Structure 1
Amino acid sequence: MDETTLAIRLPRTGPDEKAVSELAAELADRIGPAVHPYEVAALLEAEGLSASVIKERYGHPNLFSLASALYARVPRTFPEPPAAPDPWRPDTVRCLLRGVLFALPALAYLLTAPLWRVDRHAPVLIVAGVVSWAWGQALGHRAHLRLVAGRREACGTLLTGSLTGAAVATGLAVLPAGGDPGTVAAGAAVAAVQSLYLAAAGVLLVLARERLLLAALSPLIAGAAMLPWWEPGPVLRAGLPLLALLATLAVTARVLWAGLAVPAAADGSVPPLRASLPYGLFGLAAAVLVLLEGRRHPYAVIALTLSMGPAEWLLYRYRGWSVAALRASATPGGFLLRSAGVLGLCLSAYLLLVAPAGLLTGAGPVTLPLLAAALWTALLLQAFGVAWPPAALCLAAAATAGAVAWLDLPPGPAVLPLACGPVALGLAACAIRLLGRPSPHA
């Protein structure tokens, strides 16, 4: 043929396998997850393949024919979806700071120790501390319930509740003071100072103002840091804790004032007081159990207080890991096993942290870990709204151990681990039964 001869191209009698294979390789990552050829057809339309291109380039009569060929040619691949963010990821610094803040008030007793008589004022401080602990637990729960309605409502609850709690703790603490009016007045003053601080600090902790509380306690920290090298004298020994108290009260007043300035919520419903009762009873039981341990090993109580920061971190980790276990489980039984494993992991991690502290403080390898296990598991159940079982079991343990200690009955000091052990086991079983279901984590 010369240059003027026309070349006649015969129509293709079938698909162009090479062109189809090239297209399949190009779109494999998007064709693989498809579950039906129609999804591939939608993809081809989105790529702008017209009917003429499909016929001329790939040799298929229509879009759906090419889509079916590509669907059959590319193996099915179902990539895992991207990991969802952990809704319970803890703030590690904040959790550790809270543990430190729980223990920092002990520096006030260290600074002021030469200024007061332990035999006269210790019972007053103990009663005020126990009452404040119980009241603070109940008030904290009620404030969180009110936070659902709004910040103004929560701040109003905290204002009235904290002042009332400080007054109740001071009034009850004066009862064991006895003696002449001067002794009663001194006891009331000491109890009032402690109760006011605990009330104000509780408000700041509930409202997540830990850094403000740390700043308010800076005079106390500075004074305690000077003690190994310098005797500050009675004025500074009394003045620095008082300055820290005034700073804490001022910061608390400022935070509450800002919260009360927020517009009121439309829903003004108030939860019943009885909803917070089991939390207060648990606080009372926990205070008694810790007090019984502190009578023999005060440094063990300080270690337990510091461990509350990691304990709170592990509570968040339990919730986050439980959500991950729920996503990875296909059956309720599978989730139950995973949930029990998560509980065992978190509880073991906490006990591994507490056990060395028990050995170093002379409390032994049993008592402090059992007490810590009971308290941590109770707090875990409370975090899920299960309040009465922890309150009932811990109250029973506190009543038993307290009666044995008060009446000097056998087995003596060994009653505390004997009381806390069954409570820890019972609460762990309760946690597995109630939290081993998907619904609390959904």
Structure 2
Amino acid sequence: MSGPLRLLPGEGGSLPALPRQRKGNRGRPSWAADPIDELAERLMEPVSAAVHPYEVAALLESDGLTGGQISTRYGRPGLFTLAADLYARVPRHYPEPPPATDPWRPDSLRCAVRGLVFALPGLAYVLGSGLLEGARAVTGLVAAGLVAWAWNQALSHRAHLRLAAGAGAAHRTLRLGAPAGALAASATGLVLAGPGEAGAFAVGQSCYLAAATVLLVLGRERTLLLALLPVAAGAAATLWWRPPAAVAVAALLATVCLAILAAAHGVRAPGPVPAGGAPGLSASLPYGLFGLAAGVLAMLTGATDPYAVVVLTLSMGFAEWLLYRYRGLAVAALRASTEPRGFALRAGRALVLCLGAYVALLAAGALLTGTGAAPLLGLGAVLWTALLLQAFGVAWPPAAVCLTTAAAEAAAPAAGLTAGLAQPLCRTVAALVLLYLACRILGRPTAHR
């Protein structure tokens, strides 16, 4: 034969265009090229993506082939025989799916705003420092803050659970829980600080924290940022002159009142509240205990190095951004993995990457402020890893580790250990334990469902 050999579709070089099959029912000569090859070439892309000959049969039927055409033109007894022949001739080729969007893509602007609303309340202590004189005042303020942190952490978790049942259920939880938490924290501050300026400051702090919790649960960070403007402006003024006590009190009261009014406005609509279906109150207990432990650890850090707490507070926005980033990387790891071990390695790599980025930021902050790096980096690693586990519904292990760490640091002086030794030691051990738990738990594909 003088012409080139006829190749199967998809093999060898490009083939010359074949003439269209003439219409009619005349049989083809025995020496003519097999028209099934022409059909396979025309339908190569959809046939190559088929996973069963039945898909090819449906494709041919939708193409308008009749039984007469199949028998006379292609020499096959029926549709399914022709489909099986086509399926066998065309190599399988499954196109890659289009790149999926990241469902956990972080909102950088929102994280930045949340970072600001976490950091700006610290300016209230700069503005109201003249109202806090004596050890009793500081004790009352710290105790009220610890009660508020624990309560509001549990309340936040409870409200988010109720959001699944509707906004009305979450609003009801916040309407009842936020005032109760503010009352408990205020009472603690008044008992320990006593009536007077320090006690009033503790009450204002408790009310603000309760209102801020409501606004953060409702996703109204910008409203909270606006409420913080009086305190921010008053604290900025202290760079040039010392505001009188009346001006400082007015700025503090303005922020507290604005936050309370915004929170009350946010939960004003009652909405339908479904009966039952919510987890028990004990489900939020570990979140409250974690809030208490985190508050104690921050208090112990601030007692020896206040600038470390400032750096930690300023880093909270980036910490939240990294939590979202890890979840996005974990979803990408799920899509790229074909077996559990490969996913575990990719998830572990993402965890180390995100935790390393956060620790690097804290190290830069410690370098700029001249604060002790070891206690700050340890505390940051503990809190970020614990928050990551909580984001996946793992509540008791991080709460237990943080409570144990806080208790060990608080008892260290009685054992003759200084804070400079006890804090890095306890926090390093806690961070390693939490990192191990995170790798074990989050290395399972089922944890990311």
TM range (shorter): 0.7 to 0.9
Q: Counterpart in 1 of 2:372?
A: 364
The C-alpha deviation readout for 1:402-441, integer Å capped at 9, x for no partner, is 1235x59323322111111111111111122222222222
| Structure 1: gaps spanning 5 or more residues | 1-8, 179-183
Q: Counterpart in 1 of 2:217?
A: 206
Q: Does 1:82 align with 2:122?
A: no
The C-alpha deviation readout for 1:73-120, integer Å capped at 9, x for no partner, is 432211122344433333222222212111111122222334553656
Q: Counterpart in 1 of 2:284?
A: 276
Structure 2 vs 1, CA of residues 108 and 51 (structure 1 numbering), >3 Å: closer, same or farther? same
Q: Distance in 2 between matches of 1:150 and 1:192?
A: 31
User: Bigger CA drift: 267-276 or 94-103?
Assistant: 267-276
- Over the matched positions of the two proteins, sequence identity in percent amounts to 52
CA contact (8 A) 1:15 1:58 kept: no
CA contact (8 A) 2:136 2:192 kept: no
Q: Counterpart in 2 of 1:240?
A: 251
Q: Distance in 2 between matches of 1:135 and 1:40?
A: 62
Q: Distance in 1 between matches of 2:391 and 2:31?
A: 64
Q: How far 1:154 sits from its partner (Å)?
A: 1.8
Q: How far 1:376 sits from its partner (Å)?
A: 1.0
The C-alpha deviation readout for 1:27-86, integer Å capped at 9, x for no partner, is 222111123333222212212233454566656665445434533443221112234443
Q: Distance in 2 between matches of 1:361 and 1:330?
A: 46
The correspondence for 2:65, drawn from 49, 53, 56, is 49
Q: Distance in 2 between matches of 1:60 and 1:329?
A: 43
Q: Distance in 1 between matches of 2:70 and 2:96?
A: 32
Q: Counterpart in 2 of 1:194?
A: 205
CA contact (8 A) 2:169 2:272 kept: no
Q: Does 1:135 align with 2:162?
A: no
CA contact (8 A) 2:326 2:351 kept: yes
Q: Distance in 2 between matches of 1:139 and 1:67?
A: 62
Q: Distance in 2 between matches of 1:166 and 1:79?
A: 58
CA contact (8 A) 1:17 1:58 kept: no
The C-alpha deviation readout for 1:142-175, integer Å capped at 9, x for no partner, is 2222223332222222222211111111222233
Structure 2 vs 1, CA of residues 10 and 107 (structure 1 numbering), >3 Å: closer, same or farther? closer
| Pairing of 1:319-334 with structure 2 (within 5 A) | 319-334=327-342
Q: Read off the aligned partner of 2:384 and give its amino acid letter.
A: W
Q: Counterpart in 2 of 1:251?
A: 262
Q: Distance in 2 between matches of 1:98 and 1:318?
A: 18
Q: Matched residue of 2:193: which SS? A: coil
Q: Read off the aligned partner of 2:55 and give its amino acid letter.
A: E
CA contact (8 A) 2:290 2:399 kept: yes
Q: Matched residue of 1:17: which SS? A: coil
Structure 2 vs 1, CA of residues 65 and 386 (structure 1 numbering), >3 Å: closer, same or farther? closer
Q: Counterpart in 2 of 1:3?
A: none
Q: Counterpart in 1 of 2:429?
A: 422
Q: Counterpart in 1 of 2:447?
A: 440
The correspondence for 2:190, drawn from 157, 161, 174, is 174
Q: Read off the aligned partner of 1:35 and give its amino acid letter.
A: V
Q: Distance in 1 between matches of 2:90 and 2:348?
A: 42
Q: How far 1:21 sits from its partner (Å)?
A: 4.2
What TM-score do the two structures reach when normalised by structure 1? 0.87
Q: Counterpart in 1 of 2:233?
A: 222
Q: How many residues align?
A: 425
The correspondence for 1:98, drawn from 103, 106, 114, is 114
CA contact (8 A) 1:107 1:221 kept: yes
CA contact (8 A) 1:149 1:268 kept: no
Q: Distance in 2 between matches of 1:98 and 1:41?
A: 57
Q: Distance in 1 between matches of 2:193 and 2:236?
A: 32
Q: Read off the aligned partner of 2:207 and give its amino acid letter.
A: L
Q: Read off the aligned partner of 1:168 and give its amino acid letter.
A: A
Structure 2 vs 1, CA of residues 68 and 268 (structure 1 numbering), >3 Å: closer, same or farther? closer
Q: Matched residue of 1:175: which SS? A: helix
Q: Distance in 1 between matches of 2:174 and 2:120?
A: 22
Q: Matched residue of 2:204: which SS? A: helix
The C-alpha deviation readout for 1:244-299, integer Å capped at 9, x for no partner, is 211111100000112x2x1222x334533222222111111111111111122222
CA contact (8 A) 1:96 1:309 kept: yes
Q: CA RMSD in A?
A: 2.6
| Structure 2: gaps spanning 5 or more residues | 1-24
Q: Distance in 2 between matches of 1:438 and 1:65?
A: 42
Q: Counterpart in 1 of 2:273?
A: 264
Q: Counterpart in 2 of 1:147?
A: 163
Structure 2 vs 1, CA of residues 408 and 107 (structure 1 numbering), >3 Å: closer, same or farther? farther
Q: Matched residue of 1:48: which SS? A: coil
Q: Distance in 2 between matches of 1:382 and 1:401?
A: 23
